[in-house]
Structure 1
């Protein structure tokens, strides 16, 4: 709509998004489809969708997530399904009756409500099936869920279910903001089902040309002022919404915008000021009733129906209709699905809110609180906010705790923790109040992934004299549990846990739980005898079996610890774990037990057993809403994927998870380890050093010992590959020093062969032999197949160093077989390559062995190691046998060959030709030729254009 001064309220044409629109349209035209549209606030996600929906023939179902994070499971999906109307009729699958109470708009068209199952997980699965069957019956549909970053975990799980088994005629489009996403959008390991047309769109800000085009479209005339678009881009960062608002705020200067003074005008304008001024002007153009309804909408903060807006604004039914019409015509409010009204953008809502005088705001909030108190279901988060802003502190306390309790009950641990934090620091609390709230805060924080701020709050609570002695021990224990997960907090956390045992009593259930945590051997460099002392005390509580839930809690820690130590007698005790637990707390303990065992078996080399425990454990954690356990289990799964050779997409997956969990120490260090190992195998030295340096290897007292032991091995491998023998020996000895302090030698299984090589390069053959003897003695009798394979590899290396080349090759071949049986294909190929090297040195041919190792490395993506195998062949004048010819086989043509892809990947990391030659064991001249071919095939002018190519 045009203004009197010729300025439009928004761009009449889509600017800078034609490629994205084409991808979006193509994907949704081939259902089943999934398109994820990512972008920051105001970037144009909704504008892009509006362009798609213009003239689309497929029925559209719209659902919106709200910023207050009211924990109403499945809300946006149910909102969308409510728009099905007469598109569903008789003959529906009976399971769709599960939606009758949730979809009043179409309840009369649904089958009868089925009988309750009495099982929350079963009810949840039935609800998911009901949604899918309803969409199948509805036929072709485009389901759009906007702002999923505000969505509840239930909605995310439901959408994941739909895409994993999609209705054949459904296209799903989801928009979200990465910066406001509390975790993974649909799960870090999420992949659409086979056959789903999938696309991922990341909307970036407009460039200067895009801002220029948008400015021309909004102003309706070319811009004669030199540099106007560049300056406007600088002021607005190219965010389309802010560009629009900035131009709209200049409407009183429309004439000047079209003159040479435009740049000077922009120099004196700030984006926040422009937004506030634009809001003030829009409100001033409305009559008092329309302005009142807009302010009521701003106070409510979420889209609201007409009746609620009228009540909050203090208006009659007759007044509100005309007021809404004017607010909509002035493009201040927007009509949304479900006959609700709100703002197009949260910035607009905040700008209006800032114009409301304090007394008026309090009155509006009081009306909102009074009205929402009678709503079903009760919107506790909104009630708490309105009570607080209305000055009703007692009401705020009551509603805030209810909101936190409800959030915790539906699995929103992060929201619950945030709300409990606000409450626990109130100065007006009594001792019973602070005891209760501190307990809830600590318990929810331990289940969630928000850690740092909570630890500081709990420390302040411990200093509060109102906290009772009984609650102090429990609070200190929860604080300790949080600290041992954080960088720099391990020793402090162990001290707090030990102190908490004294406060709650060693014979109490809480004391037993704390002892089982101190018994866990994988944190820091605590001597094994100290862990075993706590383990024995925890075992007494397990054997007493005073309470089944407590016993399950203790077993969750104790069994994993015993497997970590290679306890051969633990297998019968695994049968003490039940298949199911009747209570929520019991299910959490059982889930921890499964995931802990998955982690422990992965550490000792029982990879198939690790997968058998970890996969169901992760699924239970996801279904049970246990975000911390989910995060740790996903990191363990990444490490297990590396060990078992599942490297495809692993680096990208780890990088995404690391963004989500960077502040969570046990998760971040494990993900960094996997990224570092991958980088070493590919010859990406700077990346390897950065990732391995983030594992905690330099601060072993504050690290997770199995992680840093593997990191020490990866560091040593990298430096041996670079012929940096002194540095390799230093890192190997650093890892061995940690093993001596802890006394847990089997965790040095990956380091042992590399440490032997490092000592032998340093001329320390006797000390290498002594190391192998010690490792063998310390690990014999342990249930740790990775350590047993390492002993075979060590024996082969030592025999080779003593000149018994063929005997060494035989031992290394046996080690390769043992590694492959785990399976650990990377270490198997390493052992096979080393056996071949000894055979070549002995004068025997080893073409088949080296070719097989190179093929294994190629299959994994271990670029550096594959190149090393081929170098050995060249150095001995040997040639790998050619692959069998295929009928009709052609060359790579315009596509990159495997070697060219290796070169391209290293180029994206900024490597020089010399560095690429070093990694791939090629001559600089050969690399130069490969670089030229890569650039030519990709149609690029220079290597700098390769920056954004996937690695």
Structure 2
């Protein structure tokens, strides 16, 4: 394949096209080339090429002829055929006539007593000697002939379609196989794979070493891609991925099918997503092979095609009435024709070799004929599988669709989809309900249409198959006007669309559907309809920007849960309880646990697997908050992925990504975030995408990479207005933490204050520091005291393992200030034990509390600072590492000197002789920060700053600090976060 790609990329004409090379047959062509070389040197041989129809046998033979001709060999070829009367030795005669037309035949006298036999073969005359020639004489004549014509240059004799050859031809081939060795000739013999005399001959020849057999296999996906590009006349990279996907899916790796499909698909309008039509040449091939099986076989295959690509043998046997012997004969013939293959999953099932075969057979049936077959198959299915358990319900629906009984087909599709939802196979439910939706007619069956829409919208919300939404909205609009669908049911449909819009990050669209639902509901709605609309209102409220959005959403969720309980709607009740659990776990964890546990029990009792997994995810998240162990959360997320519950899986992926960031598993977090974000964007999950974009910003911030964090926040910006609560998290989890790692404490304080302000306007459902690091910074700054600590400690979220490190150290600081040094040390020890899982946060805490511990005489501040300095230096966070060293100096403790690192200074400044410390000052100077503030940030005296500023101006030749800042800003601020700030 590498050589083939090189040929594509280095074409003489620069067109990047494959010019005649075989695709995917390099190994086989290599064996043929070796055999040709041997023939040219006088060592004859034979190669059989076998394979299913369309696999490229004749194409390989043509390439062999071209290679032989290119090497100067004599080539001759003939093909057996079944059109018209049987012609004895037809492929041999064709080859001889070809040599005759080329003037390459020797004079008959040169063959001695075999000359008349040659004349007879060429002219068909009936001279006594020639006409009486036995097949053995004919075979020897051909053998002597190829020896003569190939004696100078070697000869290639190609005999194609030997599976259709007469017995005499095969007898001659067998003789040639046994005697070709000493001759300067190669026999290339082409035959199908179906059992016949030719394939038996090939097997015997291989067993005794008289011939090699090349059984051609389907092309790989890569090879199909190259073949598509060849047919289009483009480079592989320019072949559309959708076209390649369809060629791979429907072409089954068979070159003939792939080429026909490409020609068919390239003639379509852009965006045409319909099933590929069956190209005429493909349909022709399928039809001919099916007819060879006989009338009963055609009937069997036509009925099998009604089931799709796989079909059940017992049902078809029952429907056709054939006995076991007849069934075995049909299967043998079908296998021989390469139309069908055994199904790997069960001996009771077979499958069509490729989907186009089933489509071609169905296309040949008229409406009446198709309906008749379908009715017989449906009756057989009902007889053999009463109640239509398992997969049979969907199979019966498909058959009733073929009969024209759309009402029954829709009913069965809905029943099968309901079973799929209870089994946790959401994607299958969507597929089944989509088929039902295509069949239903709102004008003639409005109630049935409403039922299909209800089920399909619920499945779409679970699976994120939002590509279905436009058709569903159109279907809902068709239920308006005079159709007999109660307003309450239509309100429920709009409520479902409102929920889907919130998942897509479209709050305005969600509110529009909710307003319509409320208008349809009227003033005195039935509990069943009110519950659905209240649940949607809770989702919409969470997507709005309002200070009371969480409490208002909780109110709607409680109303929905109560109404659903009265109306016996377990799914709606379960969803409402899940929402209540999420909305209360920050302030009242026991109540949240009660809601979630009740939801889990309801889901178990009523076989609602997606809702059960949702409850398990939330319960696992609460457990993980305490012990810091996310394994249960990941297990529940994997279960959600297996079911196809994409929104739940992706939002849980955000939680796990944040946990990985906090553990400093940055590469694993990056991979999770990028894969999740790409998938969420593809699916149109706007809410999940905004969370994952936020997680990327947090990941960069927790490594002190400000420039990368800013890029991530810029990618988040277009989504942030449709994602309430994310703005406060962006300030608290990303910007402020990055500022702390840069020792820009004033900036961090302002960013945390901004996060709190945004949270007051639009409360966040996720933690951003309000119950942890903000308290610690407030206590250290003296703005917060015992009352604030008590208020935070009462909130359930403050007990999370992440927050316990900050809350516990804030408690230690307060104890130290109260003179309770022993208790302060014990409190700090407990907090730091909780912090063991979070290396960056733990060492940041050590740096933050060390000065207070030193001043109040508790803990081990010097040891803490040494540990923190070592960690931050190793992490490349030099600003906070430098702060640790400065604090150690202030305590009179020995400090490890780290004055190396001139590589951190940009080359443009290093050429002026600027030192590392001068560069630290230069970065702040470029930001137009005053000397006093620079001194505070770098923990040096203002006088020292003045000296560094003077040195910078002198070395760079700038007249004043303003001129230096203007000239050097881009250079010094582009150095990245590895340089102290």
Give the TM-score of the pair, scaled to structure 2: 0.50
Please state if 1:206 is matched with 2:222: yes
Whole-Å separation in 1 of the counterparts to 2:766 and 2:285: 72
Map of 1:385 onto structure 2: 398
Query: For the residues of structure 2 that align with 1:521 and 1:829, how far apart are their CA atoms?
Result: 41
Aligned pair partner of 2:896 in 860, 875, 878: 878
Note the C-alpha offset of 1:741.
0.9
Unaligned runs of at least 5 residues, structure 1: 1-6, 17-41, 43-202, 216-224, 252-266, 758-764, 799-803, 805-809, 881-912, 923-951
Q: Which residue of 1 aligns with 2:510?
A: 493
Secondary structure, aligned partner of 1:304:
strand
Please name the residue that 1:222 is paired with. none
Matched-pair contact (CA < 8 Å) for 1:792–1:811: no
User: What CA distance in whole angstroms lies between the structure 1 residues aligned with 2:533 and 2:365?
Assistant: 52
Would the aligned equivalents of 2:729 and 2:768 in 1 still touch at CA under 8 Å?
A: yes
Which residue, out of 431, 437, 461, partners 2:476? 461
**Structure 2 residues without counterparts, runs of 5 or longer:** 1-20, 31-54, 56-218, 261-265, 268-275, 818-822, 890-894, 899-970
Counterpart of 1:58 in structure 2 is none
| 1:864 to 1:644, Cα distance in 2 relative to 1, 3 A | same
How far apart in 2 are the matches of 1:814 and 1:731? 28
Partner of 1:277: 281
Q: CA deviation at 1:557?
A: 2.8
| Change over 3 Å in CA distance of 1:499–1:866 after alignment to 2 | farther
2:548 to 515, 529, 534: 529
- Aligned residues of 2:401 and 2:409 also touching (Cα < 8 A): yes
Q: Figure out how many residues of one structure are paired with residues of the other and give that number.
A: 646
User: SS where residue 426 of structure 1 aligns?
Assistant: coil
Instruction: Note if 1:670 corresponds to 2:701.
Output: no
SS in structure 2 of the partner of residue 441 of structure 1:
helix
Distance verdict in 2 for CA 1:284–1:533, change over 3 Å: closer
Spell out, residue by residue over 1:414-448, the C-alpha distance to the aligned partner (whole angstroms, 9 max, x if none).
Answer: 33244335545522444543444344334444444
Match of 1:407 in 2: 420
8 Å Cα contact 1:864-1:920 kept in structure 2 = yes
Deviations 1:114-147 (A, max 9, x none): xxxxxxxxxxxxxxxxxxxxxxxxxxxxxxxxxx
Mark the CA change 1:818 to 1:331 in structure 2 (over 3 Å): closer, same or farther.
same
Q: Give runs of aligned pairs for residues 796-875 of structure 1, distance below 5 A.
A: 818=831, 821=834, 824-833=838-847, 849=864, 852-853=867-868, 865=877, 869=881
1:369-384 matched pairs, under 5 angstroms: 369-376=378-385, 377-378=388-389, 379-384=392-397
Q: Is it true that 1:558 corresponds to 2:573 in the alignment?
A: no
Q: Which residue of 2 aligns with 1:169?
A: none
Q: Deviations over 1:335-356 (max 9, x none)?
A: 3441643233435555665566
* TM alignment of 1:71-86, pairs within 5 A: none
Identify if the C-alpha distance between structure 1 residues 343 and 840 changes in structure 2 by more than 3 Å, giving closer, same or farther.
farther
Residue aligning to 1:427: 442
Match in the other structure for 2:293:
289
Residue 484 of structure 1 and its aligned partner are, at CA, apart by 2.0
The 3 A distance-change label for structure 1 pair 501 and 567 is farther
Task: Report the CA distance shift for 1:609/1:432 in structure 2 as closer, same or farther (over 3 A).
Answer: farther
- Hey, what does 1:346 align to over in structure 2? 355
- Note the alpha carbon deviations across 1:914-948, whole angstroms, 9 max, x for none: 999845559xxxxxxxxxxxxxxxxxxxxxxxxxx
SS for the counterpart of 2:222 is: coil
> What residue in structure 2 maps to residue 81 of structure 1?
none
How far the C-alpha of 1:522 sits from its partner, in A, is: 8.9
Residue 468 of structure 1 and its aligned partner are, at CA, apart by 0.4
Q: How does 1:61-210 map to 2 (within 5 A)?
A: 205-206=221-222
Q: CA deviation at 1:398?
A: 3.1
Secondary structure of the residue that 1:289 maps to in structure 2? coil
1:158 paired residue number: none
Whole-angstrom distance in 2 between the partners of 1:784 and 1:815: 19
1:154 maps to which residue? Answer: none
Aligned-residue offset at 1:388:
2.5
1:464 to partner: Cα distance: 1.8
Alpha carbons of structure 1 residues 751 and 206: separation in structure 2 relative to 1, 3 Å: farther
CA contact (8 A) 2:424 2:609 kept: no
Contact 1:673-1:707 within 8 A present in 2 as well: no
SS in 1 for 2:729: helix
- Name the counterpart of 1:742: 762
2:465 is aligned to 450
Distance 1:519 1:330 in 2: 60
SS at match of 1:374: helix
CA offsets per residue over residues 361-403 of structure 1, 9 Å max, x none? 5555454444434342452223323332443323422332232
* Matched ranges for 1:315-714 at <5 A: 321-337=328-344, 338=347, 340-346=349-355, 349-350=358-359, 361=370, 364-376=373-385, 377-378=388-389, 379-423=392-436, 426-451=441-466, 453-454=468-469, 457=472, 460-461=475-476, 464-465=479-480, 466=483, 467-488=485-506, 490-494=507-511, 496-497=513-514, 500=517, 503=521, 508=527, 511=530, 515=534, 518=537, 523-524=542-543, 526-533=545-552, 535=554, 554-564=576-586, 566-567=587-588, 570=591, 577=598, 580-581=601-602, 583-584=605-606, 592-593=614-615, 595-596=617-618, 606-608=625-627, 629=648, 632-643=651-662, 649-658=668-677, 660-662=679-681, 663=683, 664-682=685-703, 688=709, 692=713, 698-705=718-725, 709-710=729-730, 713-714=733-734
| SS in structure 2 at match of 1:702 | coil
> 1:754 Cα deviation (Å)?
9.1
Asked if 1 retains the 8 angstrom alpha-carbon contact of 2:531 and 2:563, the reply is no
Structure 1 838/874 Cα, relative in aligned 2: closer, same or farther at 3 Å? same
CA distance in 1, matches of 2:766, 2:792: 6
Match of 2:37 in 1: none
Q: Distance in 1 between matches of 2:303 and 2:26?
A: 30
CA–CA distance in structure 2, aligned partners of residues 487 and 571 of structure 1? 26
> For 1:247-286, what per-residue CA distance to the aligned partner results, in whole angstroms no more than 9, with x for missing partners?
68999xxxxxxxxxxxxxxx99xxx899763563364356
Report the equivalent of 2:60: none
Question: Structure 1 511/397 Cα, relative in aligned 2: closer, same or farther at 3 Å?
Answer: closer
Cα offsets for 1:401-420 (capped at 9, x unmatched): 23223323322233324433
The worse-fitting range, judged by mean Cα deviation, of 319-328 and 513-522 is: 513-522
Q: Looking at both structures, which has the greater relative contact order when contacts are Cα pairs under 8 Å and sequence separation is at least 6?
A: 1
CA distance in 1, matches of 2:23, 2:565: 70
Q: Distance in 2 between matches of 1:447 and 1:230?
A: 40
Are the counterparts in 1 of residues 549 and 763 from structure 2 also a CA contact under 8 Å?
no
The equivalent residue for 1:257 is: none
Deviations 1:178-199 (Å, cap 9, x if unpaired)? xxxxxxxxxxxxxxxxxxxxxx
Deviations 1:26-85 (A, max 9, x none): xxxxxxxxxxxxxxxx9xxxxxxxxxxxxxxxxxxxxxxxxxxxxxxxxxxxxxxxxxxx
- 1:487, CA displacement in angstroms? 1.6
Bigger helix fraction: 2
Distance (Å, rounded) in 1 between the aligned partners of 2:849 and 2:732: 23
State the alpha-carbon separation in 1 of the partners of residues 477 and 813 from structure 2.
56
Task: Tell me how far apart the structure 1 counterparts of residues 675 and 466 of structure 2 sit (CA, whole Å).
Answer: 19
In 2, are the aligned partners of 1:666 and 1:704 still within 8 Å (CA)? no
- CA distance in 2 between counterparts of 1:543 and 1:391 reads 43
Partner of 2:210: none
Structural mapping, 1:770-781, within 5 Å: 779=792, 781=794
Which SS does the other structure have where 1:396 is aligned? helix
Are the structure 2 counterparts of residues 413 and 642 from structure 1 closer, same or farther at C-alpha, using a change threshold of 3 Å? same
Distance 1:791 1:323, change over 3 A: closer
Given that residues 521 and 561 in structure 1 are in contact (C-alpha distance below 8 angstroms), is that contact kept between their aligned partners in structure 2? no
Change (3 A) 1:443 1:620: same
Give the CA RMSD over aligned residues.
6.5
